[in-house]
Amino acid sequence: MFLEAEGTDFLKRFKEATTDLHKEINKQNSRLIDHLTSSTLDLEINTQTMIDNLSYEISEVVQDVKSQTKVLEAHTESFVETLQQETSDIKEQLESQDIAKLLKQINDNIIRTAWKSNRILEHLGLEDPEITYERNMFKGYLQAMKNISNKNSTEVSNDFFEDMYNMSNRIIKDNYTINDIKSWFDEMKPTN
């Protein structure tokens, strides 16, 4: 009798606990769904705000690029006109002056044109393409030496860097030092 009474009581309490647990799980699921819905809405709003801000910034950048392009076009047109005029002047001088004077004037015109080109490159924040080309060529030789020294497991001496530097052209010598060359070499990874 005791077991039967207790068993029935246990079963009743178990059903109540199960019902309470089921209700609590439903409440938690409802809260979780509400939280996820709210978070998704917040994420959507934040994403839209970021897209709007990015669109505005891109628009400003595009406007800035357009204005810089107009300025560059004006500088380029002026440069071309000057170059055409100087070319025309040189042609006239070829027809009327002796060669020595003409060569000096041509040299002067080339120097002035180089100054103008350098100013335009400086204004645009660009490196002289001739410097870039020579540096890349020089680095190519260094990369080949790096590969050879790595393959043969040999060290490259300081004499090698000094010889390479001394044999280099004016552009390398005017813009870089032996230490620059050594640091380029040290930073390179073998490619073989």
pLDDT in tens, 38-59: 888 888 888 888 888 878 787 8
Q: Is residue 189 part of a domain?
A: yes
Q: Is residue 93 part of a domain?
A: no
Q: Is residue 164 part of a domain?
A: yes
Phi-psi region of 176 (alpha: psi -120 to 50; beta: other; left: phi over 0): beta
- Amino acid identity, position 8: T
| List of residues 6+ apart from 152 with CB closer than 8 A | none
Higher pLDDT, 7 or 68: 68
User: Do 94 and 87 contact (CB within 8 A), yes or no?
Assistant: no
Total structural domains within the chain: 1
Higher pLDDT, 21 or 98: 21
Helices 129-152, 158-167: axis angle to 10 degrees equals: 150
Q: Is residue 4 part of a domain?
A: no
What is the rounded CA–CA span in Å between residue 150 and residue 34?
A: 63
Most confident of 70-79, 92-101, 115-124, 167-176: 167-176
How far from 36 is each of 41, 49, 56, CA to CA, in Å?
Answer: 8, 20, 30
Strands (DSSP E) found in the chain: none
Domain, as residue range, for 180: 129-192
Q: Is residue 166 part of a domain?
A: yes
Q: Is residue 145 part of a domain?
A: yes
Indicate if the pLDDT at residue 180 is higher than 90: yes
Q: Which long-range contacts (CB under 8 A, 24 or more apart) does 96-103 make?
A: none
DSSP structural state of residue 157: P
What is the rounded CA–CA span in Å between residue 68 and residue 124?
A: 9
Q: Is residue 185 part of a domain?
A: yes
3-state helix, strand, coil in the chain (%, to 5): 90, 0, 10
Q: What percent of the chain has pLDDT over 90?
A: 21
The model's pTM: 0.41
Arithmetic mean of pLDDT over the chain: 83
Q: Is residue 152 part of a domain?
A: yes
